[in-house]
């Protein structure tokens, strides 16, 4: 489990197709403190560290993960939002994030509002019903609060600090971003659907 609070910006240093895709990710994390088999969220995708070295870790990525996320557009030198798995007793500063990406949203607009940037996204139709104003979403692994929703379109504001400590400062219109809907929203929607079946 994760919180959606990004703690490092990693860089893809190697990509190799070996049946599954294998990626080497450079990081500022102390890799001596990471165990083989540890979960690390990479742009919001929960991946397993399979090999470790000084300042880097390797992950293997299945075809299913590539199909459901923006990993297919990863390239050498690309930057990734990183978060290590939540430990018991850690501060929960964002919201509960599983690292199981539901789909991909597309940035459709970016407008400066004061020092912040208002981002507008288009979500897949099958996920849009789970996104609610003032609810939470994880976008490229970052816990963000939804401002407004209009069908498949929703908006968030990203403050300067978030842009400084994540990859959001380099985002552009047209970028495809990993979207994980809030677990609570999913269960509430299923509960409401069940009630409707029996009414």
If asked whether residues 165 and 78 sit together in one domain, one would say: no
If asked whether residues 184 and 132 sit together in one domain, one would say: yes
User: For position 176, which CATH number holds?
Assistant: 2.40.30.20
Domain boundary pick from 57, 84, 111? 84
If asked whether residues 189 and 153 sit together in one domain, one would say: yes
Q: What pLDDT is stored for residue 184 in this prediction?
A: 72
Q: What pLDDT is stored for residue 122 in this prediction?
A: 98
Query: Is the pTM higher than 0.85?
Result: yes
Using alpha carbons, list the distances in angstroms from residue 174 to 120, 122, 136: 11, 10, 22
Q: What pLDDT is stored for residue 182 in this prediction?
A: 85
The answer to whether position 74 is within a domain reads: yes
Q: What pLDDT is stored for residue 26 in this prediction?
A: 98
If asked whether residues 116 and 192 sit together in one domain, one would say: yes
If asked whether residues 109 and 37 sit together in one domain, one would say: no
Q: Which domain holds residue 164?
A: 103-198
CB of 169 closer than 8 Å to CB of 105: no
If asked whether residues 153 and 67 sit together in one domain, one would say: no
CB of 137 closer than 8 Å to CB of 130: no
User: Mean pLDDT in each 10-residue stretch from start to end of the chain (199 residues)?
Assistant: 94 93 98 97 98 97 95 96 84 81 97 96 95 95 96 97 97 98 72 67
Domain total of the chain: 2
Domain boundary pick from 18, 50, 84? 84
If asked whether residues 53 and 134 sit together in one domain, one would say: no
């Amino acid at each position: 489990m994760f919180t959606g609070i990004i703690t490092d910006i990693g860089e893809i240093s190697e990509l190799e197709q070996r049946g599954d895709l294998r990626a080497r990710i450079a990081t500022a994390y102390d890799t001596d403190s990471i165990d083989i088999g540890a979960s690390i969220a990479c742009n919001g995708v929960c991946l397993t560290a399979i090999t470790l070295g000084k300042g880097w870790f390797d992950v293997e990525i299945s075809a299913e993960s590539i199909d459901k996320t923006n990993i297919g557009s990863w390239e050498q030198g690309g930057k990734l939002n990183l978060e290590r798995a939540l430990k018991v007793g850690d501060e929960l500063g964002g919201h509960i994030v599983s690292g199981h990406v539901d789909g991909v949203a597309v940035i459709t607009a970016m407008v400066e509002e004061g020092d912040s940037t208002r981002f507008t996204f288009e979500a897949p139709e099958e996920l849009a019903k789970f996104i609610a104003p003032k609810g939470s979403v994880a976008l490229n692994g970052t816990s963000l609060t939804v401002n407004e929703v209009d069908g498949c379109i929703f908006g968030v504001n990203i403050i300067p600090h978030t842009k400084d400590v994540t990859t959001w400062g380099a985002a552009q219109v047209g970028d495809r971003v990993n979207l994980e809907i809030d677990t609570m929203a999913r269960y509430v929607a299923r509960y409401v659907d069940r009630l409707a079946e029996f009414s």
